[in-house]
Amino acid sequence: MTLSILHITAPGEVGGLEQVVLSLAAGHRQRGCRVSVAAVMEVEPLEHPFLSPLRDHGVEVFPLVYPGRHYLREQRGLMSLLQRIRPSVVHTHGYRADVIGGGAARRLGFPTITTVHGFTGGGWKNHVYEWLQRRSFRQFDAVVAVSRPLAEKLEQGGVPPKRLHLLPNGWGRSSPPLEREAACRALGLPRDGFHIGWVGRLSEEKGADVLLDALPYLSELAPVVSLVGDGRMRGSLEQRARDLGVAERVRWAGVIPDAGRLFQAFDVFVLSSRTEGTPIVLFEAMAAGVPIVATRVGGVPDVVSEAEALIVEPEAPVELAAAIRAVHDEPGDARCRAAAARERLERDYALDPWLDRYETIYRSVLHLPVETEPV
């Protein structure tokens, strides 16, 4: 039986969730499945960077524009799309897709699967959305957690173990990295000096403020810090850098599509998050062979051990600064860890076995004769 898969998501900037959807959709399309993506957006997509790569891989894309809080219209629109394309299985990503898209699919009797990428926290609105999302998980035919801590939370929250699958993200590099000189030029950095790289959404859970707080402890290294990404906290983070006296050390690069190509510009990549699932940006750093300093959150310790990265506690700027200094002072050890991380990425997080596991889960919710691997 040829699988027909509809992914539903509400893309923002192209981050880890969007990259996972792209890898899944493109990978299964290449294997001969019929794959579609419904992208729910609040403004006309024009040339949204999430959509073009999907089309380039032969994935059928349905941009659905619903400005504001027209949730009933959104659900009706999704139900109309489902009735038109009749997928074998519906796969949702993110709280809006889980609650509205998953609900639309179940009302029409389509099998549903969700991938839980993590929880962002934040203001009261996000807490309400995530409360609704957590309640919806119990109604899915299969729930995929991208990290062990997430799987444990979901089981504690009432997701039946037989429907719960632990499946960390997979990795497949599509664009070759730039050499250091070209990467530095693209970021507006000098060729020499000590460069700290940070890539992500500028929101509380990603911890860019913790990296800024670490910089006064590194003043003698005169590092240049590239913050690649954007988000609601940018203004407050810029003010924080000024208050700390480190503003001249920080480059605000904004959102850069396919930022993984630029990692050769960094002498160290820092992941300073307060919470994570299995971060794709960590895979990008591993693939680039860049020394890594990361916080002990979510699935991070399952992806890299202390043989492959320096791991520090979250919200600990002094400890973070010490780890960054260790990379600077002991470059030989840092290179050895980076090489080990790249080897582990290729060994443990290859794309094909990951796609196989998802295909097995799809077939299981369709009651086809396959073996699943629940938590």
pLDDT in tens, the chain (375 residues): 789 999 999 887 677 889 999 999 999 999 999 999 999 987 776 667 788 899 999 999 999 988 777 788 999 999 999 999 999 999 999 988 999 999 999 999 999 999 998 876 556 666 677 778 878 898 999 999 999 999 999 999 899 999 999 999 999 876 788 999 999 999 999 988 999 999 999 999 999 999 999 999 999 999 999 999 998 899 999 999 999 999 999 999 999 988 999 999 999 999 999 999 899 999 999 999 999 999 999 999 999 999 999 999 999 999 999 999 999 999 999 999 999 999 999 999 999 999 999 999 999 999 876 544 444
Whether 143 and 28 map to the same domain: the answer is: yes
260-to-74, 322, 351 alpha-carbon distances in Å: 34, 25, 17
Is residue 166 in a domain? Answer: yes
Whether 71 and 188 map to the same domain: the answer is: no
Whether 159 and 220 map to the same domain: the answer is: no
Is residue 175 in a domain? Answer: no
Whether 152 and 244 map to the same domain: the answer is: no
Whether 113 and 251 map to the same domain: the answer is: no
Q: Taking the model in full, what pTM does it have?
A: 0.87
Angstrom distance (rounded) from CA 78 to CA 103? 10
Residue 75, burial from CB neighbour count under 10 angstroms (0-12, 13-18, 19+): middle
Kind plus residue range of the DSSP H or E element containing 335? helix 331-348
Is residue 84 in a domain? Answer: yes
Angstrom distance (rounded) from CA 187 to CA 192? 13
Whether 117 and 221 map to the same domain: the answer is: no
Whether 149 and 234 map to the same domain: the answer is: no
Q: What does the CA dihedral 78, 104, 154, 41 come to, rounded to 10 degrees?
A: 20
Query: Looking at this protein, which amino acid is placed at residue 183?
Result: A
Domain total in the chain: 2
Whether 103 and 149 map to the same domain: the answer is: yes
Residue 273 has what DSSP assignment?
Answer: -
Structural domain boundaries enclosing 344? 180-348
Is residue 254 in a domain? Answer: yes
Whether 260 and 115 map to the same domain: the answer is: no
Kind plus residue range of the DSSP H or E element containing 63? strand 60-65
Residue count of the chain, please give it: 375
Whether 146 and 262 map to the same domain: the answer is: no
Is residue 373 in a domain? Answer: no
What separation, in Å, do the N-terminal and C-terminal C-alpha atoms of the chain show? 27
Q: Which has the closest alpha carbon to 100: 133, 124, 130, 68?
A: 133
